[in-house]
Amino acid sequence: MSMLSRLTGKRVEPGDVVGVIEEYQPGPGTYVDDGVIRASVMGVVVVNESSRVVEVRPHKSLRTPRRCTSALGVVTSVRHDLVVASLIGEVSLKPHPRFMGEYSGIFDGAIPIQLISEEYVKDIYEYYRVGDIVVAKIVSSSNPYTLSTKGPQYGVIYGLCSKCGGLLVSESNKTVKCQSCGSVEPRKASIIQPTRLPLSRLRYSIWRR
Amino acid sequence: MTVKHAGLRLIDEKGLRHDGRRPDELRPVAMRVGVLSNADGSALFEIGKTKVLAAVYGPREPPQRHTMLPDRAVLRVRYHMAPFSTMDRKSPAPSRREIELSKVIREALEPVVIAELYPRTAIDVFVEVLQADGGTRTAGVTAASLALADAGIPMKGLVAGVAVGKVDGVIVLDVDELEDSAGEADLPIAAAPDIGLITLFQLNGVLSRQELEEAVEMGLSAIRRLVDMEKETLRSSVTVMPGE
């Protein structure tokens, strides 16, 4: 049994030695310093003997927006060609919609008009309004993030009625209906039910800003 | 030569210091992490009567977007002394000294933070001195290092700091306020012993080459002990780790 197999499951802090490059590849949570693989975060060592990778699973993982993941955000401005949203946390859509956790800060994202919907968008205000809570896919890997809401799962999951302030719930993929006054407003609505996501926590995140 | 300060001898006949410590002895140390729930990472560090609180936020988008760098995160550090931290009230406005120490602490942390992983973001570190009794800049570095590790920010190693000084012609470890003001030299050092890196090195006063070597050796061995304590504190702050 090699020294490193015995390391699996061991708790480490930044700077602790977890291997050498002659023996293993440095994985996430590690870095190489003069041929020695060291932990960069506090966590548990995991050695994958088949791929020869040593990694450190962090105790507290930092979440920042990543490409090809879905994000939960709130629309902060709508221009004729662009929707700007503040991204709050990550959402996993499979196997069912689930809030994965907040990002380490609030990041800006933009949905250009051509990525709003699969259909032709004539008037952007019929798709998004300021204050809408949206689920969007991140399509770029650097800040400012480009978002896409093409697809039935993406779009507005929660909004407030412009007449009475009641909760707007998706009625079809193009309309949302107020639960208090029955008014119908146009939106790019998501098929995800708002109850699937922790809205009280989301409201708190928005309020905290 | 015997230096006197308000009629007090700093080293007595037995070779002990004014508070009863041996020359190579640290003041009692206490560390805690995760003391603030609103911060992403936080730590409270006490060494003798010096108490320092550190809070870390981010990586996050800085409000001033022009401060972002395209290839790495910006580390922003604020060192601040609370108005009640000293005997006489300290004005809460940032002083020249605090602005300088913010820079010094930032430069003591920058070599260990792996900032390249988070381009176009800012990592904010707030160091608040709650009670000052000498060695606040090094205590600030130690607290900030713990808070960064608590926040989960990737680092090459943990950093700790300690001030070595010379009083009554004797090299002493961890100088307090009295020894700092009445002593002959003050040498704050911070280092990441795991990777063999000295990240802060200042000298106020005069030391001979031999004294400097003795002081650095004394400081680095204390830093090694402080980093071991930091690791122990971080380990005990976690009850259940993923995958266990």
- The interface predicted TM-score (ipTM) is 0.91
A26 within a domain of the structure (yes/no) = yes
pLDDT at B244: 46
Q: Which of residues 108-167 of A touch B (CB under 8 A)?
A: 108, 142-143
The reply to whether A209 touches chain B by the CB within 8 Å rule is: no
E-assigned strand segments in chain A: 11-12, 17-20, 25-26, 30-33, 36-39, 43-48, 53-58, 70-78, 82-92, 98-112, 133-138, 145-148, 155-160, 167-170, 175-178, 184-186
Structure confidence at residue A197 as a pLDDT band (50, 70, 90) = low
A42 and A103 together in one domain = no
> Which residue is listed with tokens 């003069």?
A34
Q: Give the range with max mean pLDDT: A44-48, A103-107, B124-128.
A: B124-128
Q: Which of B60-74, B121-135, B188-202 has the lowest mean pLDDT?
A: B60-74
Structure confidence at residue B20 as a pLDDT band (50, 70, 90) = very high
Task: Tell whether the model's pLDDT for residue B148 goes beyond 50.
Answer: yes
* Smallest Cα distance from A121 to chain B, Å: 30
pLDDT at B1: 44
Q: Give me B85's structure tokens.
A: 């931290």
pLDDT at A144: 84
Interface A-B, measured as beta-carbon pairs within 8 A, has a size of: 105
Mutation target for B interface from A55, A143, A209: give the one with most B CBs within 10 A: A143
In this complex, the residue of A59, A106, A143 whose CB is nearest that of residue B241 is A59
Q: Is the peptide bond preceding residue B62 cis, with omega within 30 degrees of 0?
A: no
Average pLDDT rounded to a whole number, residues B207-220: 97
Residue B104 near residue B113, CB atoms below 8 Å: no
Average pLDDT rounded to a whole number, residues A53-68: 92
Query: For a pLDDT cut of 70, what percent of chain B falls above it?
Result: 94
Burial class (CB in 10 A: 0-12, 13-18, 19+), B194: buried
In this complex, the residue of A9, A14, A108 whose CB is nearest that of residue B156 is A14
Give whole-number Cα distances, B41 to A207, B179, B239, in Å.
21, 33, 16
A65 within a domain of the structure (yes/no) = no
A29 within a domain of the structure (yes/no) = yes
Chain B residues whose CB is inside 8 A of the A107 CB are 60-61
A42 and A81 together in one domain = no
Please state the φ and ψ torsions of residue A170, each to the nearest 5 degrees: -65, 135
In this complex, the residue of A9, A33, A105 whose CB is nearest that of residue B195 is A33
CA angle at A169 for the pair A168 and A170, rounded to the nearest 5°: 125
Q: Which of A97-101, A117-121, B104-108 has the lowest mean pLDDT?
A: A97-101
The reply to whether A59 touches chain B by the CB within 8 Å rule is: yes
Task: Tell whether the model's pLDDT for residue A208 goes beyond 90.
Answer: no
A133 within a domain of the structure (yes/no) = yes
Task: Kindly report the CATH number assigned to the domain that includes residue A42.
Answer: 2.40.50.100
Task: Kindly report the CATH number assigned to the domain that includes residue A157.
Answer: 2.40.50.140
> Which residue is listed with tokens 């699996």?
A8
A177 within a domain of the structure (yes/no) = yes
Chain A residues whose CB is inside 8 A of the B149 CB are 13-14, 41-42
A37 and A126 together in one domain = no
A22 and A86 together in one domain = no
Task: Tell whether the model's pLDDT for residue B58 goes beyond 50.
Answer: yes
Q: Domain containing A23: what range?
A: 5-58
Average pLDDT rounded to a whole number, residues B82-108: 97
A121 and A181 together in one domain = yes
Residues in chain A, overall count: 209
Give whole-number Cα distances, A113 to A130, A178, B106, in Å.
15, 25, 42
A96 and A180 together in one domain = yes
Structure confidence at residue B3 as a pLDDT band (50, 70, 90) = very low
pLDDT at A196: 63
Number of domains in chain A: 2
pLDDT at A166: 82
More confident residue, B17 or A131: B17
A91-121: string of b/e by CB count within 10 Å (b at 16+)?
A: bebeeebebeebbbbbbbbbbebebbbeeeb
In this complex, the residue of B59, B157, B235 whose CB is nearest that of residue A105 is B59
Write the DSSP symbol of residue B26.
P
A51 and A86 together in one domain = no
In this complex, the residue of B192, B242, B244 whose CB is nearest that of residue A15 is B192
Nearest chain B residue (CA) to A62: B152
Task: Tell whether the model's pLDDT for residue A10 goes beyond 70.
Answer: yes
**Partner-chain contact B151 A16, CB within 8 Å:** no
**Partner-chain contact B242 A57, CB within 8 Å:** yes
Q: Which of A128-132, B112-116, B188-192 has the lowest mean pLDDT?
A: A128-132
Task: Tell whether the model's pLDDT for residue B168 goes beyond 80.
Answer: yes
**Partner-chain contact A105 B68, CB within 8 Å:** no
The reply to whether A46 touches chain B by the CB within 8 Å rule is: yes
A64 within a domain of the structure (yes/no) = no
A207 within a domain of the structure (yes/no) = no
A138 within a domain of the structure (yes/no) = yes
